[in-house]
Structure 1
Amino acid sequence: MSYQLSVANLSAYWKILGRLTAGLLIFGLNFSVHAQKLQTYCNPLNLDYTYMVYNAHDDISYRSGADPAVVEFRGEYYMFVTRSMGYWHSTDLTNWDFITPEKWYFQGSNAPAAHNYKDSVLYVTGDPSGSMSILYTDNPKKGDWKAVPAILNDLQDPDLFIDDDGQAYIFWGSSNKFPIRAKTLDRHKRFRPSEKIYELFNLDPDKHGWERFGENHQDTVLGGYIEGPWLTKHGNKYYMQYAAPGTEFNVYGDGVYVSDHPLGPYRYAPNNPVAYKPGGFANGAGHGSTVVGAGNQYWHFGSMAVSVNVGWERRICMFPTYFDQEGLMYTDTRFGDYPHYASGTSKQGEFTGWMLLSYQKPVTVSSTAGGQNAQHMVDESIKTFWLAAANDDRQWAQIDLLKPATVHAIQINYHDYLSDMYGRIPGLKHQYLIEGSLDGKHWNVIVDKRNNEQDVPNEYVSLNEPARIRYVRYKNVHVPTPHLAISGLRIFGKGEGKAPKRVKGFQVERHPDKRDATLSWDRQKEAHGYNILWGTAPDKLYNAWMVYDNNTLDMKSLTADQTYYFAIEAFNENGVSERIQVQEVK
């Protein structure tokens, strides 16, 4: 009897131990998964953008960030942005803190240039007047900038570059007439510029369709602008990046010419433009800079258009950048305003696979004003917005995803409507609460920023734990602006249905004007949109154009004498279809 009891007790003991072990294993697994959660980011970048003073005399108030010059200095990163009254600092290219330097341009720098010389000195220049000294410091966190005793005249959109041999150059260009130009600088004589001006290259819109002016390159009367040179040295080649055709357009992008010497001769890259994002929620990728991040991964920063209050209303974006075996430089802008894995992670630069769950879903709100209705928050246009009747803590917006889905991240893009704010304003903050529900009755908090003290105009939050929900509710607590206006309440994750099928009926008709082509395909009921992919070889489909709720595209971005290869994929909240077989188009 005693023996049998002992066996029973032992059996019970092992069962309990097994359950405890299983629990510990599950806990350990959950802990491991949580510990390995990778940091992500989403364009447009969530910076505390400065309010501009360009149009203050007309009472036009708006934030803007454009023309980013991003450089690494002593293992950390600095971002200089037009008219920002200071600059940003980061240790990881993802989280940025604003620095108000001891000394700086009174009206902010304009299209600034920055260069790290052997980690000893950081150089910056970019006076709005066009006449400028080169500033330098060995302590950019303090910002005790000094100026070399020499003035460079008649420059706009400068780029300072010092080669490995110590020779310095200044490049510049912002014109619909003049080319990208250069002078040599003598570092040993106060950066004295050469008398000689070197003309490098200009736009050639008769050959390069993407350099034509206007939204979708539709303006055939005005010439495009060539702007913002930025020189990157890679593999003993010099990659001179430049922007075209105009910062306010969806097709603003960066091209590149390549040379064996900083002063040329330069060769046009056949896969241009190399940074180009004409479709989706936020458009544009031009007038940027390229920097090397963790793991020798390159990143290209650029300007995105908002252009609602005024054409110069912009935001900053970043895209992973690569050089292929043939030395072609390119950026990855596919799903370019969806979440991607951040710099320094094991998957840095990759698309997370989190789809947009909120596209065209039903929205209910606490109030509406000025005819700016709630559906504007889910139409995937940064130019439209919901305007609430007040900016207090009684305002809310609720999205019905129609079906349960797993939510991974949320982006809130606030809009400036009659903000009446100018310059760098301290103490701005956004406070809110986001709740989720499966049935619309029982709610759980998934993001709590009620006590947030940060200014987050393009807020992006990746949830610590994914939430399976159907309803998402934003509850306003405080915004720093006189009005509550939101251009995009974007919910990212994975739906539980099927991804679209492979697209059928895809055709590309290249016009007699070889810069232009009309693309068409069979519409899919279950698809929200499509990615057009094209490039100069079947394995070099480096460019992407996102199209929502349509089955045609007039593309005016092509080079006249270039053979292209095209493919297409469909997507919805559940995933992405297989791509069609690549098509050659001569």
Structure 2
Amino acid sequence: MKTATRLLLATLFCFIAFGSSAQTKRLTYCNPLNLDYGYTPFETFAAWGKHRATADPTMTFFKGNYYLFSTNQFGYWWSPDMLSWKFVSRKFVRPYNQVKGDELCAPATLVLGDTLLVIGSTYNKDFTLWMSTDPTHDTWKAAKDYFQVGAWDPGMFADDDGRVYIYHGSSNTFPLYGQEIDRKTFEPIGPKKEMIKLNWEQHGWERFGENNDNVFLTGFMEGSWMNKHNGKYYLQYGAPGTEGKGYGDGVYVGDKPLGPFKYQSHNPFSYKPGGFAKGAGHGATWADKYGNYWHISTMVVDVKNNFERRIGFWPAGFDDDGILYTNTAYGDYPHYLSASKEDHLKSNFTGWMLLNYNKPVQVSSTLGAYVPNLAVDEDIKTYWSAKTANKGEWMQTDLGEVSTIKAIQLNYADQDATFLGKSLGVYHQYLISSSIDGKTWKPLVDKRQNKTDVPHDYVELKTAAKARYLKITNYHMPTGKFALSGFRVFGKGAGAAPDSVRNLIVLRGKEENRNSWLRWRQTDGAVGYTIYMGIAPDKLYNNIMVYNVNEYYFNGMEKGVPYYFQIEAFNENGISKRTKVIKVE
């Protein structure tokens, strides 16, 4: 009897322990988000090649689900967990709206009670403000047939007292505007007011261009978004332009919803000028079901058209001093999603490193100059393409040594695509096999029966695998050639992390102190470096990730403001200790 009792208790304990472990397992994701992005709907934008495109995302938590709207998708996505997304097909723009092929461009969303509202960008006064109490289905009706606030890049906000406001603007000449609207009639109350305007003479990051040099144009201010936190109003904006790696989001803070506003000391608060996919501008800040803040923004591709873009999101929050920040460090490597209330100043990074950066690759065929190594160079702008989309085209990557594999991200490129706009019912199919010796292979990820569109497919393995070689074989493409901008393998190598970086130097311009030149001694065994910077030693909230270089020209500083810097090295085995913080006047 005692033996039976002990056996029962042991079994019960194991069951409880297993159940607890299963409940606490955290989901992971990887940017760019794996969404079934539509293709540009415009023939003129596709002159250099048809391609997927979206941008300007909003994210809203409503009735237990997350709703993601973005530019020209002919619908929207929803998810219960921020990982698995379901697309709802819908055309919001009505026939009498003269938008020439546009759908919802840079949409705005707002929750009022039990209702979700959405509207797109227009300077006209004939757009419909839509409403739904169950947006998991296509159950929308007009809240206002002719919305009288002509607003491009709108952002809507409901205050605690029930009053509703709209913010808007997209220009390198005009400011962002704000205006109150009636909660019941949605008619404007009073005239629009100027809120904020770019000040690129002071803020280096607001200068237009890849290198913040204002070549060709001056910077744009766009993409309004408002959050309220501890009685303060945080008016956010995108700048300086969607084409550049420094596309980010800034914020002004005020005591009233229509200002006046003051430039936050830490800016841009959302910034990602390095890594595989760059850019973190024109987005939205929201709280998940646990109360944790996140920031979603636009990521830049900009190859076949300057509006070729993707979407990513990152942990965000407000520090003890009320500073809004976004944590984009290793922001296109696998990260954990929240499973409870957490501190986003602490990293959600899994620690899984990229195992095949610039490692040897072999392929079945190559189309022209789209050579194989472009799929492992950590640049979404470059890609390898096979000659065909035929079943059996393949790519093999050599990790250099047997490593522990945790996850894989496949980033497809658009080579000779034929679609315009949204295409439903299309899908990718492939098989990834692994090998220790390059001779004996076994299936690792089998999606030969997949029926979904997965242009940035991210797969976390249920059980970590040991392998040196991985091979992806194509079985079906939705359109175009079999082409990859990133065959990215994550996990841990068998070696040691690099030593700490030595001799970090920051040379700041005297006549032009918005600009600086960072240099450091190369670290043996490092494949890249992450530079941290900020406006205080304990507020190094921004970062720049670079590969295979030992210098960086940073032109995004605020004039006359001291900055603090720190750097770490990384490779496939891990990350070094950070250097001491240095101050630059």
Aligned mates of 1:289, 1:528 — CA distance in 2: 32
2:540 match: 541
Aligned mates of 2:107, 2:486 — CA distance in 1: 30
The secondary structure found in structure 2 opposite 1:210 is helix
Offset from partner CA, 1:35-94 (integer Å, 9 cap, x none): 754210000000000111133575541111210111111121111111100111111122
1:135 match: 130
Q: Rate the CA distance shift 1:265–1:413 in 2: closer, same or farther, 3 A.
A: same
Where do residues 365-404 of structure 1 align in structure 2 (5 Å cutoff)? 365-404=363-402
Taking structure 2 as the reference length, what is the TM-score of the superposition? 0.93
Aligned: 1:262 with 2:257: yes
Residue 424 of structure 1 and its aligned partner are, at CA, apart by 1.4
The residue type paired with residue 388 of structure 1 is: A
Residue 515 of structure 1 and its aligned partner are, at CA, apart by 0.7
User: Percent sequence identity over matched residues?
Assistant: 45
1:5 match: none
Aligned: 1:54 with 2:47: no
Kept in 2, the 8 Å contact 1:76–1:92? The answer is yes
The secondary structure found in structure 2 opposite 1:492 is strand
Kept in 2, the 8 Å contact 1:92–1:343? The answer is no
The residue type paired with residue 122 of structure 1 is: L
Aligned mates of 2:132, 2:323 — CA distance in 1: 34
Aligned mates of 2:212, 2:388 — CA distance in 1: 39
Aligned mates of 1:221, 1:447 — CA distance in 2: 46
1:187 match: 183
1:112 match: 107
Number of positions where the alignment pairs a residue of Structure 1 with one of Structure 2 = 566
Residue 539 of structure 1 and its aligned partner are, at CA, apart by 1.0
Q: Rate the CA distance shift 1:81–1:304 in 2: closer, same or farther, 3 A.
A: same
User: Which shows bigger deviation, 574-583 or 440-449?
Assistant: 440-449
Residue 29 of structure 1 and its aligned partner are, at CA, apart by 8.3
Aligned mates of 2:314, 2:334 — CA distance in 1: 11
1:144 match: 140
The secondary structure found in structure 1 opposite 2:567 is strand
Offset from partner CA, 1:492-518 (integer Å, 9 cap, x none): 000110100010010111111111111
Kept in 2, the 8 Å contact 1:85–1:104? The answer is no
Of residues 146, 152, 156, the one that matches 2:152 is 156
Of residues 427, 437, 442, the one that matches 1:444 is 442
Aligned mates of 1:36, 1:287 — CA distance in 2: 33
User: Which shows bigger deviation, 309-318 or 53-62?
Assistant: 53-62
Aligned mates of 1:65, 1:344 — CA distance in 2: 29
The secondary structure found in structure 2 opposite 1:376 is helix
Residue 30 of structure 1 and its aligned partner are, at CA, apart by 8.5
1:356 match: 354
1:92 match: 81
1:125 match: 119
Residue 405 of structure 1 and its aligned partner are, at CA, apart by 0.6
1:17 match: none
Q: Rate the CA distance shift 1:371–1:345 in 2: closer, same or farther, 3 A.
A: farther
The residue type paired with residue 515 of structure 1 is: R
The residue type paired with residue 53 of structure 1 is: P
2:98 match: none
Where do residues 113-512 of structure 1 align in structure 2 (5 Å cutoff)? 113-118=108-113, 120-128=114-122, 130-131=124-125, 132-141=127-136, 142-188=138-184, 190-220=185-215, 222-344=217-339, 350-512=348-510
Residue 26 of structure 1 and its aligned partner are, at CA, apart by 10
The secondary structure found in structure 2 opposite 1:295 is coil
2:31 match: 43
Aligned mates of 2:19, 2:482 — CA distance in 1: 39
Residue 561 of structure 1 and its aligned partner are, at CA, apart by 2.1
Q: Which runs of 5+ in 2 are unaligned?
A: 4-8, 96-101
Kept in 2, the 8 Å contact 1:52–1:64? The answer is yes
Q: Rate the CA distance shift 1:299–1:40 in 2: closer, same or farther, 3 A.
A: same
Kept in 2, the 8 Å contact 1:101–1:143? The answer is no
Residue 343 of structure 1 and its aligned partner are, at CA, apart by 3.2
The secondary structure found in structure 2 opposite 1:540 is coil
The residue type paired with residue 32 of structure 2 is: P
Offset from partner CA, 1:324-383 (integer Å, 9 cap, x none): 010000000000100000133687860000000010000000000121010001000001
The residue type paired with residue 200 of structure 1 is: M
Taking structure 1 as the reference length, what is the TM-score of the superposition? 0.92
Aligned mates of 1:143, 1:225 — CA distance in 2: 36
Kept in 2, the 8 Å contact 1:247–1:286? The answer is yes
Aligned mates of 1:223, 1:291 — CA distance in 2: 30
The secondary structure found in structure 1 opposite 2:245 is coil
Aligned mates of 1:150, 1:26 — CA distance in 2: 61
User: Which shows bigger deviation, 86-95 or 276-285?
Assistant: 86-95
Kept in 2, the 8 Å contact 1:150–1:191? The answer is no
The secondary structure found in structure 1 opposite 2:211 is helix
Kept in 1, the 8 Å contact 2:26–2:338? The answer is no
Kept in 1, the 8 Å contact 2:414–2:480? The answer is no
Q: Rate the CA distance shift 1:138–1:526 in 2: closer, same or farther, 3 A.
A: same
Aligned mates of 2:10, 2:438 — CA distance in 1: 35
Kept in 1, the 8 Å contact 2:291–2:341? The answer is no
Residue 207 of structure 1 and its aligned partner are, at CA, apart by 0.5
User: Which shows bigger deviation, 386-395 or 28-37?
Assistant: 28-37
Offset from partner CA, 1:120-170 (integer Å, 9 cap, x none): 211111145654332222222233231414432542101111211121111
Aligned mates of 2:249, 2:121 — CA distance in 1: 23
Kept in 2, the 8 Å contact 1:182–1:199? The answer is yes
User: Which shows bigger deviation, 548-557 or 220-229?
Assistant: 220-229
Aligned mates of 1:346, 1:296 — CA distance in 2: 6
1:530 match: 529
The secondary structure found in structure 2 opposite 1:205 is coil
Aligned mates of 1:194, 1:405 — CA distance in 2: 62
Q: Rate the CA distance shift 1:468–1:571 in 2: closer, same or farther, 3 A.
A: same
The residue type paired with residue 40 of structure 2 is: M
Higher Rg: 1
Aligned mates of 2:17, 2:43 — CA distance in 1: 55
Q: Rate the CA distance shift 1:90–1:105 in 2: closer, same or farther, 3 A.
A: farther
Aligned mates of 1:71, 1:365 — CA distance in 2: 42
The secondary structure found in structure 2 opposite 1:84 is coil
The secondary structure found in structure 2 opposite 1:389 is coil
Q: Which runs of 5+ in 1 are unaligned?
A: 1-13, 15-20
